Amino acid sequence: MVRRARKIDRVLTATYPDAHCELDFADAFQLLVATVLSAQTTDVRVNLTTPALFAKYPTPEAMAAANPEDLEEILRPTGFFRAKTKSVMGLSAALVERFDGEVPPRLDDLVTLPGVGRKTANVVLGNAFGKPGITVDTHFGRLVRRFGWTDETDPDKVERAIAEIFPPKDWTMLSQRLIWHGRRICHARRPACGACPVADLCPSYGAGPVERAAALKLVKGGPYPTV
C-alpha cells in the first residue's frame, strides 16, 4: 500500500506541477485569516473578498479594533459571516495580546487562536513558513479514503495515518496535489474516473464514469499532462 501510495503521489506530481495554495495572501496573517474565511465557501469567493478586507484592516491590530458590523458587511459574501467576524477579530486580538501582533510559526501556538484548528494551522505552517504540514480538508480526506490509504474519518486520525506513509518533507505539497486533484477530477459525487491519471492505481476506480468522453466532461480546468 505504501509503494502504491507513493506512486500515486509521483503521478500527481507530474499531473499538477504547479500545485499551490489557491488562497491569495501576502503574509502569514493574511493567509491565516483567509484560511479561516474559507470554511464552507470557495477559495475563489475568499479571494474576491480579502482585497477589500486587508485594505481596510491590514494588521492584527487594525482587525482586532474593527467595528464588528463593518467587518460583517465585508465578510457577508463568504457565508457564516457573523461567526467568521468573531473568529478573525478574536484571533487578531490574541495575536496582539499574546504574540506581539505576529503569527506564531508553531502548531501548538496556532491552534490556541480562536477559529484555528489543525487544518488551518497546517495550511499556514506549510505555505507561509515552509514547515511540513498535512492539510486534511474535505478533498484530502475523501481522496485518501478512496485511495485506500486509511479508513479513518476523523481529521486528526487521518493526519496521523498519512504521516506514517509519507516523510515530512512531502506533507505540504502532497496536501496541495490531493486538494487540486479533488477539485479538478476526483469529485465527491461524480469523480471523473475515465479521465483520471491514477485510475490504474486506485481501488475506487469506477465510482464515477469510466468512459473517457463522459469523464472528460466532468474535469474542471486542465488540460493536465498525464490525463
In a domain, 165, yes or no: no
pLDDT grade for 227, boundaries at 50, 70 and 90 = low
Range of the domain at 52: 28-128
Q: Spell out a b/e string for 12-36, using b for 16 or more CB atoms within 10 Å of the CB, else e.
A: beebbeebebebebeebbbbbbbbb
- Domain stops at, among 97, 128, 159: 128
pTM above 0.85, yes or no: yes
pLDDT grade for 221, boundaries at 50, 70 and 90 = confident
Q: Can you give the pLDDT at residue 9?
A: 98
| 34 and 109 co-located in one domain | yes
Mean pLDDT of 51-63: 98
pLDDT beyond 80 at 226: no
Q: Can you give the pLDDT at residue 20?
A: 95
> So which residues are the catalytic ones?
119, 137
Helix, strand, coil % over all residues of the chain, rounded to 5: 60, 0, 40
Chain-wide mean pLDDT for the chain? Answer: 96
pLDDT in tens, 121-156: 999 999 999 999 999 999 999 999 999 999 999 999
In a domain, 197, yes or no: yes
Match 468512459 to its residue by C-alpha cell. 211
Q: Can you give the pLDDT at residue 110?
A: 98
Distance of alpha carbon 77 from alpha carbon 140, whole angstroms: 25
Do residues 175 and 135 touch, judged by C-beta distance below 8 A? Answer: yes
CATH of the domain at 73: 1.10.340.30
- Number of structural domains (the chain) is 2
Share of the chain above pLDDT 90, in %: 97
In a domain, 198, yes or no: yes
